[in-house]
Amino acid sequence: MKEFNIHPISRTIEAAIKDKIDNLTKPKGSLGRLEEIAEQICLIQQTLNPTLRQPHNVLFAGDHGIIEEGVSVSPKEVTWQQLSHFSKGGAGINFLCDQHGFKLILVDAGVDYDIPSGHGIVDMKVGRGTRNFLHGPAMTEEELTLCIERGSKTVEEIHGATGCNIISFGEMGSGNTSPSAVWMHLFTGIPLEKCIGAGAGLDNAGIRHKYEVLSKAVANYDGADTVEAKIAWFGGFEMVMAIGGMLKAAELGMTIIVDGFIMTSVMLAASKLYPAVMEYAVFGHQGDESGHKQMLEAMGARALLHLDLRLGEGSGAVCAYPIIESAVRMINRMDSFQSVNVTKYF
């Protein structure tokens, strides 16, 4: 599998960052999470004067063989239909990207449909959906490698062409809360039943069926006891491409805004391969999918927003961007006590 050069972020300038933030014209700590985010962005960029450039949201789409087991209320064709919808500009992620100045990149990672050319969708198809992981691995080792490489290449090209230094990832794939729940269980140790939710709208009976299917799938696992093997056995093409994208973004020193349940499971998997990737991650929102709060807690992460979202697509990450922007404006534009001759009042 492709290797990445991701190092823990240097803390050499940490004291200088804290000193600058603490001497802005406000009581110490009074801007709360904005101060924490500003410090993180400064550390990522290794500067006291950070900038946010050309934000992008990369949306990977792919289908899942496990949907054959009735674990989702969304039929498989919704994946390609929604991907087409995104390309026309009328979906949820479209208005959010427009509102917050994000460039939306659409990638066919493995949709079970022949997407016509000329719609602005990047063709990186690895296959026409994954296999049913109830009966065997969802993807081969070669397909895993291809997904990592193609996700990495997508981010590398964006960074090189635009200078983008802050990026979010979204997904479209009917049934993809199932692999996300399994990854959460395998990589945190949280009981599987607590990792499973309604997805696109399952009722209680549907959730119970989903648990039974996924529980059997986990019991059937006979792959190697490695992170890579577990990612390949249960993952989706779009999810593994997002892993490659996140790892490349961290290698390039970019800030990664993590979206909801599915993208958090992707960051979880990525962190099991390269733990330092977490230092580049800002978690955008805590979604409404059951288990997301527990997964964030297991990762030692706190989300900026909790808006009961469960749309995916990168929507929560893009919604969180103005808060990150406010943190950067705070450290760059607020006066210091010394510069305006105001007595410290704390």
Catalytic residue numbers, as ranges: 313
Structure tokens at 339: 């510069």
**Bridge partner residues of 171 (DSSP):** 60
Alpha-carbon torsion angle 198, 203, 205, 207, nearest 10: 0
DSSP 74-137: S-THHHHHHHHHHHHT-SHHHHHHHHHTPEEEEEEEE-SS-PPSSSSEEE---SSS---TTTS-
DSSP helix/strand/coil, 227: helix
β-sheet bridge partners, residue 172: 61
CB-count burial class (<10 Å; 0-12, 13-18, 19+) for 221: middle
Position 294, amino acid: Q
| Alpha-carbon torsion (271, 143, 132, 225), positive or negative | negative
Amino acid, single-letter form, for residue 85:
H
Q: How far apart are CA 329 and CA 18, in angstroms?
A: 16
| Longest pairwise C-alpha distance within the chain | 70
* Torsional class of 46: left (φ above 0), alpha (ψ -120 to 50), beta (otherwise): left
Q: Is 71 helix (H, G, I), strand (E, B) or coil?
A: coil
Name the 3-class secondary structure at 281: strand
Alpha-carbon radius of gyration of the chain: 20
Please give the sequence-ordered ranges of beta strands (E in DSSP) within the chain, or none if there are none: 56-62, 103-110, 121-123, 166-172, 255-258, 281-283
